[in-house]
């Protein structure tokens, strides 16, 4: 009896963890399942009919045939995400360096202001951006979407890179300079490689935030449709089942990126342990 | 401090090196706002010597080192190296390398890459880098650790990588900032011997900053004791220990019994001293002053306790043993003098006579040549306990 209670005492936290994990993974599992389901003509993709899953690979093999511009909107989202990520990562990294490395007028104000876009409700930010664009007579479209996305991504980049930079021992730079490295060489050989993991995770975060965004985009898109806007629009009539395939695909890609990173770390520390 | 020999002269005399080579600091001052970290420091470190800057934390020794490395710029003054003025040079332009207190190894590089870094930055040919790195790793006995990362090494190994990374560049001066501070006692002793061996082997100028007086004394040819941004005394370790220039030095390096005294002028080869109503003699050669308020100093191991007759010519003080602690190689006594102060006496356990017990009435005596006379103006109150 005591052994049982002891076993429970030792393992209950793992049980709770598994339940939480299942709770988080279940919706994804459903999407993955639906991506292999052929929906009945009169039923939406939300439902499995009484006879269960009608297995098919159609959704994957004809991924772009679900609706006219689904893959077009996907392509727009990928472009927006890529451009916004590149710009936000570069700007955000520079801001983070300035905030950590230099003392200048307005630095502490900047430290606070950088949090504002994260704290502002998206709907407020989206509508006020629209007001700004309209009153500034900026034509809405691809450009305004990118501008909006860069704006809210920068904060996340700054915060992520800043955390990494702040944890960096300033003596490492001194040591590099002491070993004949010019400021540029010090940055390239020591600072940048050490901050790189922060920059990479900031970029991944930016991309997923941008790819995901509906609220701000819907205000500032003009006629351009990103993937989230397409899904929302399609939802009025019934979402084509290919959306599930795309969502599953995105999930798999993200999962692979994370898994590869983890594996590389694990292998490095294992090699370290055995050598 | 007018009684102390000027540092430059003392150092050059001690090693007999010409004043042209080596590292020279002239009137170097560093201020941080209102705080003066280094105050008008002048000193010469001859080429090939092992020089220690010794002082408590905050005395300006690390700031001095950082100015030589180029990581701080002097407020005023000049630093020359081998005759060339390097005062305003950038750290990466100086033929000087540093072993940092925290080692500051690059965590994303292997041991080999760390050691090769300086050579690569100086655009040394790739074919020459590899053997140089390997030879240096051999020297610090880490030949098989080249592919590891710093995080996989012990503290002592990291320390040796930091040393190799600096030494591989054959700097004109190697700066060591408390390099052994993070190691445990046993490893520290081992590394002291190691460092001294390497210095003799490569023949470079080492400037070693430390707060550990024993470390400074065992390793360095010349020790400079720093206090409040100034050098209190500079010379070979034996000279500093046997004949300190000030009460601060007398107490920072080891332990000293300092008696408040009054020097009453020369008498023959000695200086006559009066303390607490008794008269003592100190050889003139061991007196920093000949008249005026003074400290009469004797090291505890130079004092003897006896219950019998005092040898001819010794200075003597009666007293009562108040404490006796047996520490193996010696017995340490505290003896209360008639004026109330306690004298520390270290008696070697050479097997003659058992330890004396507290309460025993004894006579403390010493040979006059083992005492020294300091100016009372040199500030006994600033003396810190040795760490």
Residue-wise pLDDT for B270-292, tens only, equals 898 988 888 888 998 899 888 88
Phi and psi at residue B100, to the nearest 5°:
-80, 155
> What is the residue-averaged pLDDT of chain B?
86
**Residue of B93, B106, B163, B171 to mutate when probing chain A, most A C-beta within 10 A:** B106
Per-residue confidence band for B141, with pLDDT thresholds at 50, 70 and 90:
confident
Whole-structure pTM value: 0.77
Residue of B nearest to A180 (CA): B92
Count of residues in chain A: 275
Angle of CA points A75, A78, A79, to nearest 5°: 85
* Rounded Cα–Cα distance for residues A234 and A239 (Å): 5
- Give the sign of the dihedral formed by CA A209, CA A212, CA A214, CA A217: positive
pLDDT bin (cut points 50, 70, 90) of residue B383 is very low
Instruction: Give the model confidence (pLDDT) of A233-264 as tens digits.
Output: 887 777 788 888 888 988 898 889 888 888 88
Residue of chain B with shortest Cα separation from A172: B104
Residues of B within 8 A of A181 (CB-CB) are 92, 117, 121
pLDDT tier for residue A270 given thresholds of 50, 70 and 90: low
Report pLDDT digits (tens) over B70-95. Answer: 999 999 999 999 888 999 999 999 99
- The CA radius of gyration of chain A, in Å to the nearest whole number, is 24
- Measured between beta carbons, the chain A residues lying within 8 angstroms of B106 are 172, 175-176, 190
pLDDT 10s digits, B161-179: 999 999 899 899 999 998 8
Give me the residue label for tokens 């305003």. Answer: B88
Question: Between chains, do B104 and A181 touch, taking CB under 8 Å as contact?
Answer: no
**Can you read off the two tokens belonging to residue B29?**
């001052």
Cα of B92 to nearest chain A Cα, Å: 4
**A105-159 per-position pLDDT tens digit:** 988 898 889 888 888 999 999 999 999 999 998 889 999 999 999 999 999 999 9
- Report the pLDDT averaged over residues B252-268: 88
pLDDT of residue B20: 55
CB B76 within 8 A of CB B229: no
Q: Is the pLDDT of residue B131 over 90?
A: yes
**A122-135 helix and A142-166 helix, angle to the nearest 10 degrees:** 130
What CA–CA distance (Å, rounded) separates A242 from A64?
7
Q: Tell me the mean pLDDT in the region A64-79.
A: 83
Task: Tell me what pLDDT residue B85 has.
Answer: 92
B118 touching A (Cβ < 8 Å)? yes
Q: Cβ(B288)–Cβ(B330) under 8 Å?
A: no
On chain A, the residues whose CB falls within 8 A of the CB of B107 are 172, 194
- Asked if A178 lies within 8 A of B92 by C-beta distance, the reply is yes
Residue B197 in contact with residue B167, Cβ under 8 Å?
no
State how beta strands B35-45 and B304-306 pair: unpaired
Reported confidence tier of residue A47, pLDDT bands at 50, 70, 90: low
- Which of residues 183 through 222 in chain B touch A, CB cutoff 8 A? none
Mean pLDDT of chain A: 87
Q: Is the Cβ pair A179, B107 closer than 8 Å?
A: no
Nearest residue on chain A to B97, alpha-carbon basis:
A178
Strand partners, A146: none
- Asked whether the predicted pLDDT for residue A75 surpasses 50, the reply is yes
Which is more confident, B356 or B296? B296
In this structure, are residues B226 and B61 in contact, taking their beta carbons and an 8 Å threshold? yes
> Who wins on pLDDT, B203 or B303?
B303
Which tops the pLDDT comparison, A116 or B5? A116
What distance in Å separates the CA atoms of residue A83 and residue A72, rounded to the nearest whole number?
Answer: 17
For position A131, what pLDDT does the model report?
Answer: 94
Question: So what's the pLDDT on residue B204?
Answer: 87
d(CA B77, CA B88): 10
d(CA B252, CA B272): 26
* Per-residue model confidence as pLDDT tens digits over A14-25: 999 999 999 999
Positions of E strands within B222-310: 222-227, 230-235, 257-267, 270-275, 278-283, 291-298, 304-306
Whether residue A222 has pLDDT greater than 80: yes
Interface with B, mutate which of A167, A171, A175 (most B CBs under 10 A): A175
Q: Among B15-19, B48-52, B149-153, B277-281, which is the least confidently predicted range? A: B15-19
At A46 the pLDDT is 58
């Amino acid at each position: 009896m005591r052994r049982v209670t002891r076993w429970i005492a030792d393992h209950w936290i793992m049980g709770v963890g598994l339940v939480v994990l299942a709770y988080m993974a279940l919706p994804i599992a459903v999407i993955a399942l639906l991506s292999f389901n052929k929906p009945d003509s009169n039923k939406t993709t939300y439902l499995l009919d009484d006879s269960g899953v009608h297995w098919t690979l159609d959704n994957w093999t004809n991924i772009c045939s679900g609706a006219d511009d689904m893959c077009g909107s996907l392509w727009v989202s990928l472009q927006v995400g890529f451009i916004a990520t590149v710009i936000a990562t570069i700007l955000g990294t520079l801001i983070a360096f300035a905030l950590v490395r230099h003392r200048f007028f307005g630095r502490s104000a900047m430290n606070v202001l950088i949090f504002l876009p994260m704290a502002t409700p998206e709907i407020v930010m989206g509508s006020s951006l629209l007001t700004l664009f309209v009153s500034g007579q900026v034509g809405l479209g691809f450009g305004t979407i990118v501008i909006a996305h860069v704006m809210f991504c920068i904060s996340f980049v700054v915060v992520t890179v800043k955390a990494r930079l702040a944890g960096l021992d300033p003596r490492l730079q001194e040591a590099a300079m002491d070993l004949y490295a010019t400021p540029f060489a010090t940055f390239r050989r020591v600072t940048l490689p050490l901050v790189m993991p922060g920059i990479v995770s900031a970029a991944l975060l930016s991309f997923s935030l941008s790819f995901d965004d509906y609220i701000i985009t819907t205000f500032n898109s003009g006629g351009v449709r990103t993937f989230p806007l397409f899904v929302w629009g399609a939802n009025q009539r019934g979402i084509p089942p290919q959306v599930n395939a795309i969502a599953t695909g995105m999930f798999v890609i993200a999962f692979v990126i994370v898994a590869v990173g983890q594996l590389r770390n694990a292998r490095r520390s294992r090699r370290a342990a055995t050598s | 401090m007018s009684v102390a020999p000027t540092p430059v002269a003392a150092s050059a005399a001690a090693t007999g090196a010409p004043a042209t080579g080596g590292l020279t600091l002239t009137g170097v001052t560093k201020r941080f706002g209102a705080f003066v970290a280094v105050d008008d420091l002048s000193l010469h470190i001859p080429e090939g010597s092992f020089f220690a800057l010794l002082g408590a934390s905050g005395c300006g020794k690390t700031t001095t080192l950082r100015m030589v490395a180029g990581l701080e710029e002097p407020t005023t003054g000049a630093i020359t190296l081998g005759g060339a003025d390097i005062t305003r040079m950038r750290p990466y332009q100086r033929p000087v390398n540093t072993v940092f207190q925290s080692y500051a190894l690059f965590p994303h590089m292997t041991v080999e890459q760390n050691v090769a870094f300086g050579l690569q930055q100086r655009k040394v040919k790739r074919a020459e880098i590899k053997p140089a790195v390997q030879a240096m790793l051999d020297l610090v006995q880490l030949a098989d650790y080249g592919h590891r990362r710093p995080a996989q090494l012990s503290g002592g190994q990291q320390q040796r990588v930091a040393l190799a990374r600096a030494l591989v560049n054959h700097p004109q001066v190697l700066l060591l900032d408390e390099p052994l501070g993070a190691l445990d006692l046993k490893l520290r002793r081992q590394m002291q011997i190691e460092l001294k061996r390497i210095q003799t082997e490569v023949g470079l100028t080492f400037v070693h900053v430390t707060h550990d007086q024993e470390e400074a004394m065992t390793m360095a040819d010349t020790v400079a004791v720093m206090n409040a941004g100034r050098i209190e005394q500079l010379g070979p370790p034996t000279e500093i220990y046997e004949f300190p220039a000030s009460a601060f030095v007398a107490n920072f390096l080891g332990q000293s019994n300092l008696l408040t005294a009054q020097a009453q002028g020369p008498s023959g080869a000695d200086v006559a001293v009066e303390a607490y109503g008794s008269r003592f003699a100190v050889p003139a050669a061991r007196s920093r002053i000949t008249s005026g308020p003074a400290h009469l100093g004797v090291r505890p191991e130079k004092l003897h306790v006896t219950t019998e007759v005092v040898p001819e010519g010794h200075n003597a003080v009666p007293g009562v043993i108040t404490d006796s602690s047996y520490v193996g190689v010696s017995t340490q006594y505290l003896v209360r003098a008639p004026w109330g102060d306690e004298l520390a006496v270290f008696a070697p356990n050479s097997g003659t006579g058992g330890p004396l017990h507290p309460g025993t009435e004894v006579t403390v005596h010493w040979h006059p040549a083992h005492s020294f006379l300091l100016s009372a103006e040199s500030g006994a109150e600033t003396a810190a306990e040795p760490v």
